[in-house]
Amino acid sequence: MTYILGVNAGIGIFHDPAVCLVDEHGTVLAFVEEERPRRVRHSPGVKSPALAVAHCLRTAGITPQQVDVVAVGWDEPRMSARAGSPWHFDSPRHLLGQLGFHGTRLPDMQFIAHHQAHAASAFYASDYEQAAVLVADGNGEDECISLYRARRGHPLVRVERWPQVYSLGHLYEAASEWLGLGRRGAGKVMGLAAYGTPGGEIPAPGWLRAGEHGLISALGTDPAEDYYSTHRRWRKRIVQFAGTDGPSQPAALLDQDPAAVRVAAAAQATVEQVMGWLARQARELTGIEELCIAGGVGLNCAANGRLPQPLYVPPVPHDAGVALGAAWCLAAPREPRLLSPYTGGHPGPLPKGLAGAKVHDLEVDRVAELLADGRIVGVCRGRSEVGPRALCHRSFLASPVEARMRDRMNALKRREPWRPFGPVTHLQPELWSPIGHLDRYMIGAAHLTARGREALPAVRHADGTTRPQHLRPGDEDFVTAVLEKLTADGHPPVLLNTSFNGPGEPLVETAAQALACAQRLGADALATDDALLRLSPGSEAGA
């Protein structure tokens, strides 16, 4: 057996280090982001995800000595040359040591171009035989947007690319920082933007746009511009556009600040319009209608939902996904098969001394009754999902039939009250527009129908959209059974589904973390692999 360990690690990364272990057939054995075992969201500044390496090896039941190749999702020699610094022959050995590989038998190390790794992560996770691939993020080694042609059994072929002055990621990050939401506030910016689009009108200030001769950036065309200069220049453009250095309201009230809403809507409009043009370019240049998207911009659900099908976006399109893509560049799956997101660890046992909790056998009817009664239930079952979207293995679930549940869930999670939630269902109810594969991983926005807007107020966003998850047979049997019971009892076949974490935290990974989080935040119950815990208000794990 050959083992290949893909990593988002090394000198190129700024956030979201991750590790993925595959065999020679490209089968994913384990895939986890460093933030989960480290318990620091995005793990910024961590260049060597050693905890995730150990996690993946432990999950697969192998030792470091059994790993044959480590594939890095960045071309470090190319980056060193671009920076004008020498590439040292012992650099791979140094990085291997930081990742936990020691001794006389070390794995080989190979460096994969960042956007190539992104492209591989999206295409080989899809069920397409061939596809156009669009990669859009903050930056790779020296590009921010790339287009590829992908075919099973053939190398990826890049057909176009753009330098960092065209970076949608840098622009969106600058908007997030102007709004006071920090560098990693892109999801919040997307949610806030919906408050600035009454009647479906979307403003666009022309920061980035498609012209007669291609993509045009207000920053010019200089390929030498780097992250720091483009970010600084985008920030200056946003200040000029808004007419002020920042919002006049705190984060909790940004939806009531016209300047803040206008900036968010302008950034979102830019992303949607440019991604629409890039999708058309990808299809035209490759002659292929099937489209895959990767890169951090692929997390923009609103933009994804506006693109025509057929379209596939993996559950981990952001930088963590290059761990998967780098491994697949060396051992790609030959048969089209959709990636399962459940690649992490198991919950493990509950802690001893369950103060403030009543333990019951895990029964579908009992959980369905709690949800129908307006309770919030945390779910920590099976292998954890990779990526930022909770997909019912590490989720908070609730009934979406009353608008006040949105307020209660936002309060429970200590979130801004204007932020939206998404639904999960096991059926194809006529409650929102179809969005193809995008509803597998909660990675695309859909428009609620009139019936959906009336029936599901807790997951209805300001612009009439929602971000749904559709459970297919075999995806998550327990939550499917709960949904079936609710449907049989006359309730809508839908639940509110959101991530099982508190503010600034990654998703919970273990049952012990889940219990502590649920009790700290004030959830009503917790469902684990084999137990249902009723939680007392205000209790703390181990109290």
Q: Which residue numbers are catalytic?
A: 15
Burial class (CB in 10 A: 0-12, 13-18, 19+), 208: buried
Question: How far from 198 is each of 260, 265, 301, 463, CA to CA, in Å?
Answer: 15, 11, 19, 7
Q: Would you call the peptide bond into 310 cis, given omega within 30 degrees of 0 as the criterion?
A: yes
Total residues found in the chain within this entry: 543
Alpha-carbon radius of gyration of the chain: 23
Tell me if 147 sits within 8 A of 158, measured CB to CB: yes
Tell me if 424 sits within 8 A of 495, measured CB to CB: yes
Tokens of 218: 């207000």
HEC secondary structure over 147-213: EEEEECCCCCEEEEEECHHHCHHHHHHHHHHHCCCCCCCHHHHHHHHHHHCHHHCCCCCCCEEEECC
Distance CA 163, CA 468 (A): 34
Sign, CA dihedral 514-98-47-114, equals negative
Name 454's Cβ contacts closer than 8 Å, sequence gap at least 6.
Answer: none
Distance CA 316, CA 437 (A): 14
Distance CA 147, CA 156 (A): 10
DSSP states of 488-513 as a string? HTTS-SEEEEEES--TT-PPP-SHHH
How many Cβ atoms sit within 10 Å of the Cβ of residue 79? 19
Of residues 398, 396, 487, 493, the one with CA closest to residue 451: 493
Tell me if 310 sits within 8 A of 126, measured CB to CB: no
Task: Provide the CA 132 distance to its chain's centre, in angstroms.
Answer: 21
Name 503's Cβ contacts closer than 8 Å, sequence gap at least 6.
Answer: 413, 414, 415
Give the H/E segment covering residue 19. strand 18-23
Give me the helices (H) in 204-243, please: 227-242
Tell me if 132 sits within 8 A of 293, measured CB to CB: no
Strand order in the sheet with 18-23: 28-33, 18-23, 3-8, 69-72, 108-111
Question: How far from 373 is each of 197, 402, 533, CA to CA, in Å?
Answer: 35, 11, 16
